[in-house]
Chain A
Amino acid sequence: MKKLKALLVLTGMLLLTLTLSACSAESTQQNALKRSQANNTLTWGVKADTRLFGLMDIKSGTIKGFDIDMGKEITKRVLGKKGHAKFVQVTSKTRIPLLKNGNIDAIIATMTITPDRAKVVDFSKVYFAAGQSLLVKKGSPIKDVRDLNKDGMTVLAVKGSTSAVNIQKYAPKAKVLELEDYAQAFTALKSGQGDAMTTDNGILFGIASENPSYHVVGGAFTNEPYGIAVDKQQTQLKNKIDQAIAEMRKDGTYEHLLQKWFGGIAGFDLKEASQQ
């Protein structure tokens, strides 16, 4: 009798899991563009821990950065002047799941276009051409990524980012520790948990500009074209976004935004970043 009971409980649990899987498979297949037009609101997933791209301003309680300004500008062009842009904080780890379950309409969160990701989401045209680089303490013996390819070297990266995968290709001997977000990865670097921190150069320049005892070394060793991601089948929304980006590049708004956020950063190449 007891065994039977246990069996029943187990079957019940299994059934529950299967039902849940079935629910998730049938994801939100509504038209995101129509829905956002009806609400007059486009919901964006943005980073809140990344200086220059999307950083929470504690004083005002709002997120500020290049990605945010891009999101606002694109919203205006997609929904009209009165369109409202809503920003939801995401991390590299949570952004795709949140897009898939319909919590956000689009991701503009320093997201590199990769073939693997393109299988699960649709990307707009490139809006920022970044490249992966390294951040180290000034005076560190590490000059570029080859110096990291030694036993005993530890590199800090962020969970779910392309840089975590790439660094294992470029420095297979180094140990990679993946942390929750950029703030944590940088704090870990400061406490000596790793020899270098790796991610895209734009983000690293942002950190270095606030922490003068750290600098970006070795130049970019990968190409990381950033795109805006929408869920599969949301082609209408994607086309609208592409159109908005093209307009912004033409009328100078894009260059103005790039200048606003990256103009004053030493060692940052604006031309390279605006490549299409």
Chain B
Amino acid sequence: MINVFTQHWQELLVGFGNTLLCSVIALFFSLIIGSTFAIFEVLPYKLLHIIGRIYIEVFRNIPLLVIGMFFYIVVPQFIVTLDGFTAGTIGLTLYTSSFIAETVRAGIQAVDDGQMEGARANGLTFMQAMWHIILPQAFRYVIPPLGNQFINLVKNSSVLAFVAGFDLMYQGDTIASTTFDTFNTYIVVGILYLIITLPLSYYMRYLEKKLA
């Protein structure tokens, strides 16, 4: 196990870095996109509501691997060449954003109606009330399920291994298949994933305690 570390730390470091980078990018954008579609869902406009519904149902119900492959194989044939890392990260962002949208929507709907009515009565516009009054409360409600989504996102970033995105899993695959030390390699890869997800998990728990 130590051998895998000492002999292949460079490859593992590259993989670790790419997994971390992909996760951070996907986390940031999926949070923005997800929240936007969550707001679409609660707006009183029917058209936006339908668009939001379609987006969420499409990306939530297709396997991540299929979405990743679509951006790696199909998009380059017709639109623009994307390398494995970009294709995988886009796929991961869209996939996760649909789950985040559902989570945030539930949070918004959990905030008492009176909050919006009160804010509007005090002269705030709909968007102002959403931004200053509703969303802060909504996010507080959904920190635990959101934390789950973030952890899933880090683990799902292993989809990059299938589109040659040079992430941790990809590097693990290549190390395992050149050294034949499959068992120890995947244990090391598992530990490296834990190094990302465990602190994340504890941080989300800390936030939950602090804010709730």
Interface residues of A (CB under 8 A from B): 17, 20-21, 24, 92-93, 96-97, 100, 116-117, 120, 159-160, 164-165, 177-180, 184, 187-188, 190-193
CA distance A70 to B164 in the complex (A): 33
Name B's interface SS: helix
CA distance A93 to B187 in the complex (A): 17
CA distance A59 to B164 in the complex (A): 31
- Chain B 69-80, CB within 8 Å of chain A: the 1/0 string? 000111011000
Partner of B77 from A93, A159, A191 at Cβ < 8 Å: A191
In the bound complex, do residue B173 and residue A93 qualify as a contact, i.e. CB atoms below 8 Å apart? yes
In the bound complex, do residue A187 and residue B177 qualify as a contact, i.e. CB atoms below 8 Å apart? no
Stretch of B36-44, B101-109, B127-135, B178-186 that contacts chain A: B178-186
Chain B, 156-178, CB within 8 A of any chain A CB: 162, 164, 170, 173-174, 176-178
B117 to chain A, nearest CB (A): 44
Beta-carbon nearest neighbor of B170 in chain A = A178
In the bound complex, do residue B1 and residue A159 qualify as a contact, i.e. CB atoms below 8 Å apart? no
Is B88 part of the binding interface, using a Cβ–Cβ cutoff of 8 Å? no
CA distance A191 to B72 in the complex (A): 8
Chain B, 74-130, CB within 8 A of any chain A CB: 74, 76-77, 81, 83-84
- Chain B 1-14, CB within 8 Å of chain A: the 1/0 string? 10000000000000
- Chain B 169-212, CB within 8 Å of chain A: the 1/0 string? 01001101110101110010000000000000000000000000
CA distance A193 to B77 in the complex (A): 10
Query: Which among B72, B164, B176, B180 has the highest number of chain A CB atoms within 10 Å?
Result: B164
Which residues of A have CB within 8 Å of B1? 17, 21
CA distance A159 to B170 in the complex (A): 9
Name A's interface SS: helix
Which residues of B have CB within 8 Å of A178? 164, 170, 173-174
Beyond the given A179-B162, A188-B164, please list 11 additional residue pairs across the A-B interface where CB-CB is below 8 A: A17-B187, A24-B183, A92-B177, A93-B176, A93-B177, A120-B180, A160-B174, A179-B164, A188-B73, A193-B81, A193-B84
Which residues of B have CB within 8 Å of A179? 162, 164
Partner of A192 from B77, B162, B176, B183 at Cβ < 8 Å: B77
Beta-carbon nearest neighbor of A177 in chain B = B164
Which residues of B have CB within 8 Å of A187? 73
Beta-carbon nearest neighbor of A95 in chain B = B177
Given A180-B162, A187-B73, CB of A21 within 8 Å of CB of B183: yes
12 interchain pairs, CB-CB under 8 A = A92-B177, A93-B176, A116-B180, A159-B173, A159-B177, A160-B174, A160-B176, A164-B174, A178-B173, A191-B72, A192-B76, A193-B84
Which residues of A have CB within 8 Å of B180? 96, 116-117, 120
CA distance A120 to B180 in the complex (A): 8
Partner of B81 from A92, A164, A192 at Cβ < 8 Å: A192
CA distance A37 to B173 in the complex (A): 35
Given A93-B173, A159-B177, CB of A188 within 8 Å of CB of B187: no
